[in-house]
Amino acid sequence: MNITPWWYAVRPKTLSMSVVPVVLGTVIAGSEGGRFQLPLFLSILAAALLIQIGTNLYNDAGDALRGADGPDRLGPKRAVAEGWLEIREVQRMALGCFLLAVAIGGYLVQVGGLPILLIGLFSVIAGISYTAGRLPIAYTGLGELFVFLFFGLLAVGGTAWLMHPAWSMTAGWLGSAIGLIAAAVLMVNNYRDMDTDRPAGKITLAIRLGREKSRRLYLGLLLLPFLPVLGVAYQLQKPGLIGVMLPALLMAIYLGRSIYRQPHGDGLNRLLVQTAQLQLLFAVLVIAGLNL
């Protein structure tokens, strides 16, 4: 089997969006009295990655099927649209990823109970429905909300719950912050693809808002996450957490200006990658601040 097409289909550059909330949720649980358990951590991480990979694969197949990934696409090459892989084999691999995630989820439900069962079920359903079915999430303008919930609030909160089964306001605040930046990643992706998505009937939030409002929303999604950090710093009486976030704030301002200065084209690919890097930097600095 040629691995290269699958490498494109999996979209490895985006997988940090699954890793970041799991690591952050684990650190939050540890700061609140939870005990780190390596097998549990690896199980959570594996389930999160499998769900994202399954979603990415379904997205590759679904967009190609609906004509959203044509030859004029500005983003990275897509395996099915390029003819490297067949739709059916990509869909089967996606389904296999979801089934493996469900199998791991059985263990996680034993640990975390009903909240984890609900999070897991909704995550798998949402992952499949993102670009599959008669009315895919990605084609309705709800993609950013999906990302905010499942790559932010629920991912961080669910991980913290598994590691330390108690309600955590800190996980709620910081899960929201991480989710907002994850939504910004999708926003710049959809902003880049506006001209090719519209003819394919993919009516994303960027298309609904138009170019100017999409740029404003992107900037807001980059800056709003710093408000929850202020809340956590006040709640935990950790003023040092505010100061340590300065590099992330400067990067957020730089990226927010860049979307206005970058011509609409494939140059936005770099901005997308940098936005994902901001999420990683944000999480690293938050973790450092929590341990001050």
Q: Looking at residue 68, what is its pLDDT?
A: 62
pTM over 0.85: yes
Find, among 290, 286, 282, 287, the residue nearest to 238 by Cα.
290
> 3-state secondary structure string, 15-70?
CHHHHHHHHHHHHHHHHCCCCCCHHHHHHHHHHHHHHHHHHHHHHHHHHHHHCCCC
Find, among 114, 136, 115, the residue nearest to 125 by Cα.
136
* C-alpha distance from residue 255 to each of 4, 128, 260 (Å): 31, 31, 9
Residue 37: other Cβ atoms inside 10 A: 14
Q: What is the mean pLDDT of each run of 10 residues along the chain (292 residues)?
A: 78 92 96 94 98 92 72 72 87 95 97 96 92 83 95 97 93 97 96 88 93 97 97 92 96 96 84 95 96 83
Q: Looking at residue 2, what is its pLDDT?
A: 61
DSSP state of 198: G
Residue 6: other Cβ atoms inside 10 A: 18
3-class DSSP state for residue 230?
helix
Q: Looking at residue 73, what is its pLDDT?
A: 66
Q: Looking at residue 138, what is its pLDDT?
A: 86
Give the list of residues 6+ apart from residue 197 with CB closer than 8 angstroms, or none.
68, 190, 203, 204, 206, 207
Please provide residue 215's backbone torsions phi and psi, each rounded to the nearest 5 degrees: -65, -40
Q: Looking at residue 51, what is its pLDDT?
A: 96
